[in-house]
Structure 1
Amino acid sequence: MWLHFNNSLNRLRSVGSWEAVSYLLLLCVAMPLKYIWGWPEAVRAVGMAHGLLWMAYIGLAVLGQVDYKWHWKTTAWLFVASLLPFGPFVAEAKLLRKVQTEEL
């Protein structure tokens, strides 16, 4: 799940996992470092990584819609999931596994 890039769906899953972890790091580690201990560089570094991963996740969701001809609601739910701290993990369990079984 963490480093599988052999097709669009696996790329989406892998980037989604890393995006979710980076979001949690941003909220639970970098933000306290900035606001409690006065170290804004943590938010700058983790925020940049999270932003890049988020853009990649959204791009791969759109690419998945094109490649697999998903309904637009699936892509919309993936977008909503990207805005929630554990969202990509929930999307993996609820949406992407269902999509994969429908393809087989």
Structure 2
Amino acid sequence: MELKTASALRRLRLVSVPEAVSFLVLLLCSVLKRTTDFNAVPVMGAVHGGLFVLYVIFWADAWKRAGWSLGTAAWFFLMSVLPTGGFFADRRLRRSQGDAAIAARARREGVVNARLDA
């Protein structure tokens, strides 16, 4: 995996969990606004909106650099609009980063063609 591609995926991964947490906190603030005198919706709305914009920017960059199919890109975008979707996006990105690291190490050690030689 190219360094710029890995960086794009890492940025998307780093913003996915905070975006998901901010979405859940915003939902909680919305409930509290309706049931109590506590109103943190304007603040949490701004925080979540900023994180959502970052997620979409990093998602578009990762889509371009990683060469995702339309289905994969749509899945990651869908995860940004679901309240807990960022956690699932983080898990999938972490798994793909691990797979890429294993593949890179195997290439460095010359293990890639070992199965073909046997």
- Taking structure 1 as the reference length, what is the TM-score of the superposition? 0.80
Aligned-partner SS, 2:17: helix
State which structure, 1 or 2, has the greater radius of gyration over its C-alpha atoms. 2
> Which aligned runs of 4 or more in structure 1 are off by greater than 3 angstroms?
none
1:19-42 deviation line (CA, Å, top 9, x unaligned): 0110111112x11331111333x0
After superposition, the CA RMSD in angstroms is: 1.9
> 5+ unaligned residues in a row in structure 1: which ranges?
1-5
Counterpart-to-counterpart distance in 2, 1:77 and 1:102: 20
> Aligned pair count?
96
Corresponding residue of 2:32: 33
The 8 Å contact of residues 13 and 94 in structure 2, kept in 1 or not, is answered as: no
> 5+ unaligned residues in a row in structure 2: which ranges?
1-5, 104-118
Q: Is it true that 1:99 corresponds to 2:96 in the alignment?
A: yes
Percent identical residues: 36
Counterpart-to-counterpart distance in 2, 1:81 and 1:92: 10
